[in-house]
């Protein structure tokens, strides 16, 4: 599947995704996946992922003749018409759109909120450099920036208590991973229910990439002497 260039909406929760997958398993894909001329998915990232897991070929509709701004607006219009965002989710979306270079007025128009609301959503992050949408990993390849690397770049702007809590969480994850390393992979895999195997595998691969990104950030900070 092509990289999710136009996936700017918040991801579905695990429960929402599993409900979607079971619906597709039972009823098939009711709404075709939209792609551009290159085959990049505009709308239907979660439907496509569920179909890939189920081994189902999904129907597509090609949207031609749209420039990048028009594609982004099309994607947002489709998704915002059928999904209700919480205040935090909206603020996160507003931040992503601002990082992509959209003006406050353009964001307000597409999200359908007053310009003042957009300004309020952006206020908490104005004092620091926006997080990158993509980072270069240790292998030299470019990956979408993860929430973990975003959290790392924002640490200086957060209270010390939150930084300590994040460190404790990261240490707990490291301890857990080390513990798993002492168990045979086949034994761990055998404990996963059949219907959850592919989903669990994909989540573990994403986790591996996140952990690798965090390790790369730590090593880079150490080499650069970033205290």
Q: Are 135 and 120 in contact (CB under 8 A)?
A: no
- Spatial separation of the C-alpha atoms in residues 118 and 105, rounded to whole Å: 8
pLDDT higher than 70, residue 151: no
Domain check: are 152 and 95 in the same one? Answer: no
Domain check: are 26 and 119 in the same one? Answer: yes
Whole-model pTM: value is: 0.47
Q: Are 31 and 44 in contact (CB under 8 A)?
A: yes
pLDDT in tens, 120-139: 888 865 544 444 555 555 55
Specify the DSSP element, H or E, that contains 143: strand 142-144
- Spatial separation of the C-alpha atoms in residues 54 and 22, rounded to whole Å: 9
pLDDT in tens, 181-225: 777 777 778 888 877 888 888 888 887 777 777 777 777 777 766
- Spatial separation of the C-alpha atoms in residues 149 and 214, rounded to whole Å: 6
pLDDT at 3: 43
Last residue of a domain, one of 72, 103, 125: 125
pLDDT at 79: 81
Question: Does residue 2 sit within a domain?
Answer: no
pLDDT in tens, 27-40: 999 989 999 998 88
Last residue of a domain, one of 79, 107, 125: 125
Domain check: are 209 and 143 in the same one? Answer: yes
Q: Which residues are 41's β-sheet partners?
A: 35
CA-nearest of 24, 56, 25, 62 to 43 is 62
Question: Does residue 4 sit within a domain?
Answer: no
Domain check: are 94 and 182 in the same one? Answer: no
Q: Are 134 and 143 in contact (CB under 8 A)?
A: yes
């Amino acid at each position: 599947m092509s990289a999710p260039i136009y996936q700017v909406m918040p991801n579905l929760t695990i429960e929402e995704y599993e409900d979607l997958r079971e619906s597709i398993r039972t009823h098939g894909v009711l709404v075709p996946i939209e792609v551009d001329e290159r085959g990049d998915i505009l709308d239907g990232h979660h439907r496509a992922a569920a179909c890939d897991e189920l081994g189902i070929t999904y129907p597509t509709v090609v949207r031609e003749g749209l420039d990048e701004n028009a594609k982004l607006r099309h994607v947002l219009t489709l998704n915002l018409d059928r999904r209700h965002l919480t205040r935090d989710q909206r603020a996160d979306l507003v931040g992503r759109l601002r990082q992509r270079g959209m003006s406050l007025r353009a964001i307000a128009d597409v999200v359908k909120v007053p310009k003042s609301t957009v300004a309020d959503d952006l206020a908490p992050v104005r004092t620091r450099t926006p997080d990158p949408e993509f980072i270069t990993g240790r292998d030299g390849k470019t990956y979408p920036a993860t929430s973990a690397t975003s959290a790392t770049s924002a640490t200086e702007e957060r209270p010390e208590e939150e930084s300590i809590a994040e460190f404790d969480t990261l240490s707990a994850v490291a301890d857990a991973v080390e513990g798993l390393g002492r168990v045979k992979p086949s034994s761990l895999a055998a404990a996963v229910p059949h219907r959850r195997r592919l989903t669990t595998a994909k989540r573990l691969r994403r986790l591996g990439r996140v952990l690798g990104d965090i390790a790369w950030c730590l090593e880079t900070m150490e080499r650069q002497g970033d205290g």
